[in-house]
Structures are given as structure tokens and as C-alpha cells.
């Protein structure tokens, strides 16, 4: 059990039957009443909740999340298959749970998969990934004076805005948090 005053960023607790990770917390003293303002993320749904917890609130169950290194091996259409690098055990995660993550995953890539007890929570992407541009418009001469951008499609099918000088076949680096172009790989 963990007390309200012991909450820290990254700690995972059980709150109203949900698995919540503390994203931000702040101790507040207002009108001689102390409380903790907390921003939490539901690890099952991704929903974010902001609330205030009083020191008199009961203690919460602390939950420990396990992370295992796994290799993305294939997409069967309705699910994505991963293989544990140590035990060679395979798991499948439904495609609807990886709507954002699928934009940055290529076969053979090693990723961290998070588990709570035996429940699969999801994929933890690296901060940046390098992907190959499979389609883009040719650069138009004269458009180089401004920071003009054009659309490009990478090998996962994700559409991203890139500078005019990027050509088909180049490897580029993308932020997995925002999906933005970060540079050439």
C-alpha cells in the first residue's frame, strides 16, 4: 500500500479499480487544507484523469509493471504478434489496441511490452524511430527559400510532413510521441 503523500511520477496505483500511472503530482496547501493534485493515465485505456486527493484518503495499492523485450514478428490483420527474445514465447496484441503504435513498428524491431501480472498492457515505443520514405512528391525548384513542407509516406503507411529535400528511398527519423519529422537517419 502507498499513501497519498508518497505518490511520485511514474508510480502505478490501483484507483477506482483502474490501473493508473502518476504523470504529474503537486502538493498544495490552500486555505489551510492540504491536498495533492494528481494527473494520472489509465494504462488499459490511455485516458488521462486529473483529480485532487486529500491526505486523509485511504492508501492505494501499489502495482508493479513488468517490461519485457520482445521482437515484433508479423501483423495478421486483426492482431500483431511478438516473440519474447529469451523464452521464444509468442503473444498477440489486438490491432485496435495499437492504433498509434503501429505507425512506427516494422517487422523485426525490438520493443518493450508492458505487463501487469499476466495481463498485456501494451507496447512501449522508443522516443524516435528510423523509417524509409516509400512515397513523396518531387521537390519543386524555388520552394527552398521558406521552410516549405510536403507529404511523405513511410514504410508503415504513416503520412508525415517532411522538408522539400527529402526524396523517396531515404531514411528519416520520426518522433514516436508526436509523429513529427526529426531529421535524416
Residue 82's CB is within 10 A of a number of other CB atoms, namely 25
Give the pLDDT score at 141.
Answer: 65
Residue identified by cell 514516436 is 176
* Cα–Cα distance, 182 to 169 (Å, whole number): 17
The whole-number pLDDT of residue 91 equals 94
Under DSSP, is residue 102 helix (H, G, I), strand (E, B) or coil?
Answer: helix
Mean pLDDT over residues 55-61, rounded? 76
pLDDT at residue 31, rounded to an integer: 85
pLDDT greater than 60 at residue 144:
no
What order of strands is seen across the sheet that includes strand 12-15?
48-54, 33-42, 18-30, 12-15, 61-63
Average pLDDT of span 65-84: 93
Would you say residue 103 has pLDDT above 70? Answer: yes
Half-sphere exposure of 43 (CA within 13 A, CB side): 27
Q: What is the pLDDT at residue 137?
A: 86
**What are the start-end ranges of the E strands in the chain?**
12-15, 18-30, 33-42, 48-54, 61-63, 66-75, 79-84, 90-94, 110-116, 119-124, 128-136, 149-154, 159-163, 171-175, 181-184
Confidence of residue 142 (pLDDT cuts 50, 70, 90): low
Q: Same domain for 134 and 83?
A: no
Q: What is the CATH number of the domain that holds 80?
A: 2.40.50.140
CATH of the domain at 49: 2.30.30.30
What's the pTM value of the predicted model, to 2 decimals?
Answer: 0.77
Query: The domain containing residue 8 runs over which residues?
Result: 4-63
Predicted confidence band of residue 148 (pLDDT cuts 50, 70, 90): confident
Residue 73, pLDDT above cutoff 70:
yes
Clarify whether residues 106 and 143 are in a common domain: no
pLDDT given at position 152? 94
Query: pLDDT class for 146, splitting at 50, 70, 90?
Result: low
Task: Tell me the mean pLDDT in the region 106-119.
Answer: 92
| Residues 20, 41 within the same domain | yes
As for how many domains the chain has, the answer is 3
Looking at residue 43, what DSSP letter applies?
T
**Given this model, what pLDDT does residue 57 score?**
67
Amino acid at each position: 500500500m502507498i499513501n497519498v503523500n508518497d505518490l511520485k511520477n511514474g508510480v502505478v496505483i490501483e484507483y477506482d479499480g483502474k490501473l493508473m500511472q502518476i504523470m504529474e503530482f503537486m502538493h498544495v496547501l490552500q486555505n489551510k487544507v492540504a491536498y495533492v493534485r494528481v494527473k494520472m493515465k489509465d494504462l488499459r485505456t490511455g485516458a488521462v484523469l486529473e483529480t485532487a486527493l486529500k491526505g486523509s484518503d485511504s492508501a492505494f495499492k501499489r502495482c508493479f509493471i513488468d517490461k519485457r523485450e520482445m521482437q515484433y514478428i508479423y501483423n495478421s490483420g486483426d492482431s500483431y504478434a511478438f516473440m519474447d527474445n529469451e523464452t521464444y514465447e509468442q503473444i498477440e496484441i489486438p490491432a485496435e489496441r495499437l492504433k498509434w503504435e503501429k505507425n512506427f513498428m516494422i517487422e523485426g524491431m525490438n520493443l518493450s511490452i508492458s505487463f501487469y501480472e499476466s495481463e498485456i498492457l501494451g507496447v512501449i515505443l522508443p522516443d524516435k524511430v528510423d523509417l524509409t520514405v516509400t512515397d513523396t512528391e518531387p521537390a519543386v525548384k524555388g520552394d527552398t527559400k521558406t521552410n516549405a513542407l510536403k507529404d511523405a509516406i513511410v514504410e508503415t503507411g504513416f503520412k508525415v510532413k517532411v522538408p522539400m529535400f527529402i526524396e523517396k528511398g531515404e531514411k528519416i527519423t520520426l518522433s514516436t510521441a508526436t509523429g513529427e519529422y526529426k531529421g535524416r537517419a
